[in-house]
A and B are shown apart, each in its own frame.
Chain A
Amino acid sequence: MELADIGRTFRRLDYETKVTGRAQYLADMSVPGMCHGKILRSPLPHARIKHIDTAKALKVPGVLTVITRDDILQDEGIEPYYGPVFKDQTIVAVEKVRHVGDPVAAVAALNSDAAEEALRLIDVEYEELPAVLDVHQALKPGGTLVHESVRIPESGFADLAELKPIEGTNICTHFKLNRGDIQKGFAESDHIFEDTFTLPATQHSFLETHACIASVEPGGRIIVWATTQNPFVVRTQLANIFKVPVSKVRVIVPYLGGGYGGKVYPKVEPITVALAQKAGRPVRVVLAREEVFYTITKHAAVIRMKTGVKKDGTLMARECEIHLDTGAYAEIGPRVAKKSGYTAAGPYKIPNLKIDSYSVYTNKPPAGAFRGFGVSQSAWAVESQMDIIAAALKIDPLELRRQNGYNEGDKFVTEETLRAVGLKECLNEVARSIGWENKERQRDKEIGRQGEAAVRRGKGLACMIKATITPSVSCAVMKLNEDASLSIYTGTVEMGQGSETVLAQIAGKELGIPLQAIQVLGVDTDVVPYDLTTSSSRSTFHMGKAVQLAAQDILNQLKQIVVKEYGVPEDRVTFADGKIRLPETQLDYAEVMFKRFGMQGGTLVGDGQVKTLVKDEFGEKSTSAFWFLAAGAAEVEVDPDTGKFKLIKYATAVDVGKALNPLGCRQQLAGAAITGIGQAMFEEIAYDNGQLINPNLVDYVLPSLGDMPPVIDPICVEVPDRNGPFGAKGIGESALIPVAPAIANAIYDAVAVRIKDLPIKAEKIYLALEDQKGKP
């Protein structure tokens, strides 16, 4: 059997079970005695609950139980308030509902039909309140408050400790970043640019909706099967809500049908556990598509950006105000706002900065993590304005980026030193891919051939820098079995990104074992060691490293056995291709195991732990364990008569550090780019007076095969990171971020109109072109 390796494409370990339809996702599972749960949701964006009557619902045949606010307030075993940053969420609404779709009650019944019928029979009397519909309204002094007060947990995330809600306002958090002397910076600039950019809320739209099966055993032991990207966070939150030690909570995670950030932190788990507890038997809740839209969204944003520039294009100063609509609950919005603020300078050296980034409460469904995490918001403004500056100063947009972009060893806005910075390599690669240098020549030819009113081609590019969550922890354990096969235990969730395969490749490479002899076990918090989260593009880097260390631990144990059992000096024992080499001979792992245990049996357990701190192992400041760098370039065709446009080609280059599984990397790059294309061109959650009017996959449009450009070119740039396994970095989010500004910049290049509000739709281009015609 071929030994595992890195830097080569291996068939993914999760493929065979998936292409045969045998892979079990949560909604495919059931447990003995299981009943079905459904959630009653608020029809109003903001209202006080006056009265709830469940009498009629309880009479429906097959209904086992109903939970309302009384259950969570009167049960001493339940802490009603929870949330990853602030405790502003409750299992069901307590005093008020704060958005359309806010859970008000839940029913458990023997079948879903009975549960549905019971929902219709729960009487809720509301007193409607004025609703806060957007950030402008939210910020008006003396206006309606979404939360009259917010509970702050005693211990929370270290990196968010300084961020608190501002009492008496709807400001959830305000992140400030000041650098240099902003007044002086503007004074020394030759030109000042000021623009406002907006983006709407969008939805992850994984095809697998959130789901949970929960069982509460007598004595309080909680078992949940969950569609979560961070089982250990869900475990902690459930332990806090139900007041038990984390050892009494078991979270099992099957394969996920997509995550993209929308399955981090508790979602449907607390309400399912509460139902199971009261029903006294296991309950399964599977959200309907519409409910997913009420559960989590991506932050809409308004970004005002003022930038001072020298004549030669040197960026001197930037003032930026970002308002992110975090909806009715903070969720992880405070960190999203912080990351938006950190990246408001983009991947550029700007000596003078005044950044204010706010997460703001409104009466909309909560916004949280979405692939790109705050940076896809800031980059829309940063990278659009870069081209506005380039056009005004008549500098090539690629040159302007090269001139101001980060190099190895430059200082980030936090004053820490940047390492392994493949920014310019990424820019060069995408420019090459779309033929940036021939841009002008090609255009002259097109116009010459087709005349004035013909379709116009344009090219645009964009780039970005992003951080990964730091500090964080990943632990891995592995067992070398008596036949020299390997079992790997990690908390990394396989949600499509190919983590199982990459982790097996890393372990197999270290130990010299074929992939076929390696089993990566599913996630079960009773069994696998702690991992913070499968998000922030962190698993290959962090868990990959932990797996590498665990494999080295096993090698070391084998070496010690050989020293002891065979009497060979330690420095004469080496490893190659799965064998132990001694001066005279070589040994198989299985032989050495036999020697150690005296029979064909026994286990060696390897342990690997990775922790990242705000100071790295070399003692340098490090707000990010590694840095994501990426660029994208688009070529478009625009019809100047109608504004209709087509994406002809999209190139995406990401600094992956080292491509451990090259096909897997290209999938992640192209996949993230396609999500970016959706957000750039048509995705938008639409509201009418607080009602979400397109919570389905007909009216909320996802990109399909028909929307794809003829070519998407995913390019892996490799600038190795000194801390990553074999130099690898994380890659999951990077490719999404530059897409929207690259397309907007290409459209400007084609027809000289600047779209500042996403999504970029034909009618916006048409209206801008009409507007332009009226001007001299």
Chain B
Amino acid sequence: MKKPISLKINGTERHAEVEPRTTLLEMIRDQFNLTGAKLGCDIQVCGACTLLLDGKPVSACSVLAVDVDGREVLTIEGLGNKNALHPLQEAFMEFGALQCGYCTSGFILTAKALLDEIPRPTDEQIRDYLAGNFCRCGCYQEIMQAIRNVAKIS
């Protein structure tokens, strides 16, 4: 039995019909064709499917689409604008904070939520906040550098 929901995706009001068991990740990827968020572990530990829900990072593989009715979702595709990338996207490129790129949208969105909450985080705070995102290529040092750098300049 499909249920209609309305939500804001990347600042625009959107409507969808979803099964009660459809996850937020499935809806975003399959119905809205926003494929920057990836399915990695399917059990909320790897961080590849991270989206910002009302500004807070969630594992979209483990959130039901029906539960985001009336709420606001930000995906990697909604970061930055036509003329300029978000400073975190720039910094990830400058410091080499990615290799294969599969974890990248999750890391950037989580880092954005961190900096929105704590504009000048300590290394310890960065480590804690991003402990739920895996980068299997092992760009952790470069990710730290990129986030530190954005915190410093913003």
- Whether the pair B45, A697 counts as a contact (CB closer than 8 A) is yes
Which residues of the other chain, B, contact A22 by a CB distance below 8 angstroms?
36, 77
A206: Cβ under 8 A from any B Cβ: yes
CA–CA, A672 and B144, complex, Å: 17
A20: Cβ under 8 A from any B Cβ: yes
Q: Within the complex, which residue of B29, B79, B104, B138 is in contact with A672, where a contact is CB–CB below 8 Å?
A: B138
Q: State whether A206 and B136 are in contact (beta carbons under 8 Å apart), knowing that A19-B89, A704-B131 are contacts in the complex.
A: yes
B93: Cβ under 8 A from any A Cβ: yes
- Whether the pair A496, B99 counts as a contact (CB closer than 8 A) is yes
Which residues of the other chain, B, contact A663 by a CB distance below 8 angstroms?
96
- Whether the pair B96, A496 counts as a contact (CB closer than 8 A) is no
Count residues of B near A (Cβ-Cβ below 8 Å): 51
- Whether the pair B140, A23 counts as a contact (CB closer than 8 A) is no
Q: Mark B62-83, 1 if CB is under 8 A from A, else 0.
A: 0000000000000111011000
B94: Cβ under 8 A from any A Cβ: yes
A139: Cβ under 8 A from any B Cβ: no
Which residues of the other chain, B, contact A664 by a CB distance below 8 angstroms?
96
Q: State whether A674 and B48 are in contact (beta carbons under 8 Å apart), knowing that A22-B36, A24-B35, A207-B103 are contacts in the complex.
A: no
Interface residues of B in 34-51 (CB under 8 A from A): 34-43, 45-46, 48
CA–CA, A343 and B136, complex, Å: 27
CA–CA, A666 and B138, complex, Å: 11
- Whether the pair B36, A20 counts as a contact (CB closer than 8 A) is yes
- Whether the pair B39, A27 counts as a contact (CB closer than 8 A) is yes
Q: State whether A207 and B138 are in contact (beta carbons under 8 Å apart), knowing that A27-B39, A697-B40 are contacts in the complex.
A: no
B60: Cβ under 8 A from any A Cβ: no
Q: Mark A677-711, 1 if CB is under 8 A from B, else 0.
A: 00000000000000000001110001111101000
Count residues of A near B (Cβ-Cβ below 8 Å): 53
Q: Within the complex, which residue of A207, A259, A672, A696 is in contact with B134, where a contact is CB–CB below 8 Å?
A: A207
Q: Within the complex, which residue of A205, A496, A704, A706 is in contact with B101, where a contact is CB–CB below 8 Å?
A: A496
Closest to A21 in B: B36
CA–CA, A114 and B138, complex, Å: 37
Q: Mark A11-36, 1 if CB is under 8 A from B, else 0.
A: 11011101111111101100000000
- Whether the pair A207, B136 counts as a contact (CB closer than 8 A) is yes
A612: Cβ under 8 A from any B Cβ: no
Q: Within the complex, which residue of B41, B77, B79, B136 is in contact with A258, where a contact is CB–CB below 8 Å?
A: B136
CA–CA, A696 and B134, complex, Å: 13
A670: Cβ under 8 A from any B Cβ: yes
Interface residues of A in 203-250 (CB under 8 A from B): 204-208
- Whether the pair B131, A671 counts as a contact (CB closer than 8 A) is no
- Whether the pair B101, A697 counts as a contact (CB closer than 8 A) is no
CA–CA, A137 and B94, complex, Å: 52
Closest to A257 in B: B102
Which residues of the other chain, B, contact A706 by a CB distance below 8 angstroms?
127-128, 131
Q: Specify which of B75, B126, B138 lies most central, judged by the most chain A CB atoms within 10 Å of its CB.
A: B138
- Whether the pair A495, B100 counts as a contact (CB closer than 8 A) is yes
B105: Cβ under 8 A from any A Cβ: yes
Interface residues of A in 192-208 (CB under 8 A from B): 204-208
Which residues of the other chain, B, contact A28 by a CB distance below 8 angstroms?
29, 35
Q: Within the complex, which residue of B42, B93, B126, B134 is in contact with A702, where a contact is CB–CB below 8 Å?
A: B134
- Whether the pair B38, A20 counts as a contact (CB closer than 8 A) is no
Q: State whether A496 and B137 are in contact (beta carbons under 8 Å apart), knowing that A19-B89, A20-B77, A208-B38 are contacts in the complex.
A: yes
- Whether the pair B96, A671 counts as a contact (CB closer than 8 A) is no
Q: Mark B101-130, 1 if CB is under 8 A from A, else 0.
A: 111110010000000000000000011101
CA–CA, A663 and B93, complex, Å: 11
A288: Cβ under 8 A from any B Cβ: yes
- Whether the pair A674, B140 counts as a contact (CB closer than 8 A) is yes
Q: State whether A667 and B96 are in contact (beta carbons under 8 Å apart), knowing that A705-B126, A705-B127 are contacts in the complex.
A: yes
Which residues of the other chain, A, contact B144 by a CB distance below 8 angstroms?
705
CA–CA, A525 and B42, complex, Å: 32
Q: Within the complex, which residue of B40, B75, B130 is in contact with A207, where a contact is CB–CB below 8 Å?
A: B40
A289: Cβ under 8 A from any B Cβ: yes
Chain B nearest CB from A452 CB (Å) reads: 30
Which residues of the other chain, A, contact B12 by a CB distance below 8 angstroms?
none
A340: Cβ under 8 A from any B Cβ: no
Which residues of the other chain, B, contact A703 by a CB distance below 8 angstroms?
138
- Whether the pair B136, A12 counts as a contact (CB closer than 8 A) is no
- Whether the pair A19, B108 counts as a contact (CB closer than 8 A) is yes
Which residues of the other chain, A, contact B140 by a CB distance below 8 angstroms?
674, 704-705, 708
Which residues of the other chain, A, contact B101 by a CB distance below 8 angstroms?
14, 18-19, 23, 255, 257, 496
CA–CA, A24 and B105, complex, Å: 13
Chain B nearest CB from A150 CB (Å) reads: 33
Chain A nearest CB from B152 CB (Å) reads: 19
Q: Within the complex, which residue of B76, B80, B100 is in contact with A256, where a contact is CB–CB below 8 Å?
A: B100
Closest to A708 in B: B140
B27: Cβ under 8 A from any A Cβ: no
- Whether the pair A673, B93 counts as a contact (CB closer than 8 A) is no
Q: State whether A207 and B42 are in contact (beta carbons under 8 Å apart), knowing that A11-B94, A19-B93 are contacts in the complex.
A: no
Closest to A675 in B: B138
Which residues of the other chain, A, contact B131 by a CB distance below 8 angstroms?
704-706
Q: State whether A21 and B75 are in contact (beta carbons under 8 Å apart), knowing that A258-B136, A671-B137 are contacts in the complex.
A: yes
Which residues of the other chain, B, contact A204 by a CB distance below 8 angstroms?
136
Which residues of the other chain, A, contact B139 by a CB distance below 8 angstroms?
667, 670-671
Q: Within the complex, which residue of A207, A256, A670 is in contact with B48, where a contact is CB–CB below 8 Å?
A: A207
A712: Cβ under 8 A from any B Cβ: yes
Chain A nearest CB from B20 CB (Å) reads: 13
Which residues of the other chain, A, contact B104 by a CB distance below 8 angstroms?
18-19, 21
Chain A nearest CB from B78 CB (Å) reads: 9
Q: Within the complex, which residue of A205, A255, A666 is in contact with B100, where a contact is CB–CB below 8 Å?
A: A255
Listed A/B pairs (15) with beta-carbon separation below 8 Å: A15-B93, A21-B104, A23-B101, A24-B35, A206-B100, A207-B100, A258-B137, A288-B42, A289-B42, A496-B99, A496-B101, A671-B138, A697-B134, A703-B138, A706-B131
Not counting A19-B92, A28-B29, a sample of 19 additional A-B residue pairs whose C-beta atoms are within 8 angstroms of each other reads A15-B98, A21-B34, A21-B35, A21-B37, A25-B102, A206-B100, A255-B100, A256-B100, A257-B100, A289-B41, A496-B99, A496-B100, A672-B138, A697-B41, A697-B134, A704-B140, A705-B130, A705-B144, A708-B127
Chain B residues close to A by CB (< 8 Å)? 29, 34-43, 45-46, 48, 75-77, 79-80, 85, 89, 92-94, 96, 98-105, 108, 126-128, 130-134, 136-144
- Enumerate the 6 nearest inter-chain pairs by beta-carbon distance, A residue then B residue, closest first: A21-B36, A496-B100, A257-B102, A674-B138, A18-B101, A671-B138
Chain A residues close to B by CB (< 8 Å)? 9, 11-12, 14-16, 18-25, 27-28, 204-208, 255-260, 288-289, 495-498, 663-664, 666-667, 670-675, 696-698, 702-706, 708, 712
